[in-house]
């Protein structure tokens, strides 16, 4: 089990951690009914925090930020000598936690995506983990919520009896959601990216060999070039360049800690 604490990657504090340590921290918090904000960041997520200091502050105030993408793991190893043998991939982390939740009788809640995806995801989880308890699920409204709506979301999740909430709203909305609901829910919240679509079977995952070599972006670009070309063809080289600059000039990348962070209440 590896948990070396947080390390600076372009001003975003990312945990040098492995699956076993994350699962242990989440399950412990779930049993104790204690808040724990967790997100899985790939390159796009790190760059979002680098470009927007306010959002960087949100990320840096979460409890655990895991290296979801291989390039983020490589950055931890390159910049800080973390020697991590593997990333902590959001979809895999979700399955490992669901397995533990089913074994221990800890109900889960699914928030985000569409009704169709949530229905297929729930069926998939029941097939994988027959004893899992899904306390509830709620699709995204794909807009900002009013203060009353946000309070109602909190009430529905809390009264459902859930002990862990998984969020699938896409980056960066899911990180904002995790940050804003962390205290009011008093349970672990995990922003798990595309895990909902992958496990529901509505989006294909890259082959394992591409994932291991950090080429998942190429697979996703090929499947959806019109939407993703800017993200991958522009951001990826920029990210690599910034990591090299940080290695040479680390003082230029100070972690964000803005005093005022707006409440957005995505839903």
pLDDT, tens digit, 9 for 90 and up, residues 12-62: 999 999 999 999 999 999 999 999 999 999 999 999 999 999 999 999 999
Q: Cβ atoms within 10 A of the Cβ of 226, count?
A: 6
Element containing residue 227 per DSSP (H, E):
helix 225-229
The predicted model gives 161-186 an average pLDDT of: 95
pLDDT surpasses 70 at 138:
yes
| Average model confidence (pLDDT) across the chain | 93
For residue 144, list its beta bridge partners: 266
pLDDT value for 159? 97
Number of compact structural domains in the chain: 1
pLDDT value for 121? 98
**Distance, C-alpha 28 to centroid of its chain:** 18
Per the domain annotation, does 220 fall within a domain? no
The more confident residue out of 234 and 110 is 110
Per the domain annotation, does 113 fall within a domain? yes
Per the domain annotation, does 197 fall within a domain? yes
CA proximity to 73, closest of 16, 3, 128, 129: 16
**Distance, C-alpha 8 to centroid of its chain:** 17
Per the domain annotation, does 149 fall within a domain? yes
Per the domain annotation, does 55 fall within a domain? yes
The predicted model gives 166-172 an average pLDDT of: 94
Per the domain annotation, does 218 fall within a domain? no
C-beta pairs of 96-100 under 8 Å, 24+ apart in sequence: 96/19, 96/23, 97/23, 97/26, 97/27, 97/164, 97/190, 98/125, 98/128, 98/129, 98/132, 99/128, 99/129, 100/23, 100/27
pLDDT value for 64? 98
Band (pLDDT 50/70/90 cuts) for residue 224 is confident
Distance CA 192, CA 199 (A): 11
Sequence-ordered list of residues with C-beta below 8 angstroms from that of 87, at least 6 positions apart, any chain: 66, 67, 68, 69, 70, 72, 73
Q: Identify the domain containing residue 188 by its residue range.
A: 3-206
Per the domain annotation, does 265 fall within a domain? no
pLDDT surpasses 80 at 219:
no
pLDDT surpasses 70 at 229:
no
Per the domain annotation, does 248 fall within a domain? no
pLDDT value for 257? 81
Distance CA 161, CA 229 (A): 41
The predicted model gives 144-173 an average pLDDT of: 95
Distance CA 43, CA 68 (A): 9
pLDDT value for 228? 66
């Amino acid at each position: 089990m590896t948990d070396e604490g947080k390390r600076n990657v372009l001003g975003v504090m990312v945990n040098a951690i492995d699956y076993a340590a994350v699962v242990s921290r989440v399950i412990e918090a779930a049993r104790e009914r204690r808040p724990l904000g967790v997100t899985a960041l790939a390159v796009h997520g790190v760059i979002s925090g680098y470009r927007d200091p306010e959002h960087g502050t949100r990320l840096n105030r979460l409890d655990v930020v895991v290296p979801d993408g291989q390039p983020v793991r490589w950055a931890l190893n390159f910049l800080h000598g973390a020697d991590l043998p593997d990333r902590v991939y959001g979809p895999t982390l979700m399955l490992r936690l669901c397995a533990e939740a089913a074994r221990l009788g800890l109900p889960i809640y699914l928030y985000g995506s569409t009704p169709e995806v949530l229905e297929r995801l729930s069926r998939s989880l029941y097939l994988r983990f027959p004893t899992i308890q899904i306390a509830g699920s709620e699709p995204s409204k794909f807009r900002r919520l009013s203060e009353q709506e946000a309070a109602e979301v909190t009430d529905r999740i809390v009264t459902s009896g859930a002990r862990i909430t998984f969020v699938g709203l896409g980056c960066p909305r899911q990180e904002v959601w995790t940050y804003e609901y962390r205290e009011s829910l008093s349970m672990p919240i995990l922003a798990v990216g595309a895990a909902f679509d992958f496990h529901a079977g509505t989006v294909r995952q890259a082959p394992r060999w591409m994932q291991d070599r950090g080429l998942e972006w190429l697979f996703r670009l090929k499947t959806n070039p019109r939407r993703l070309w800017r993200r991958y063809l522009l951001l990826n080289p920029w990210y690599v360049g910034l990591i090299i600059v940080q290695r040479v000039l680390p003082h230029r990348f100070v972690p964000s800690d803005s005093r005022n962070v707006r409440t957005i209440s995505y839903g």
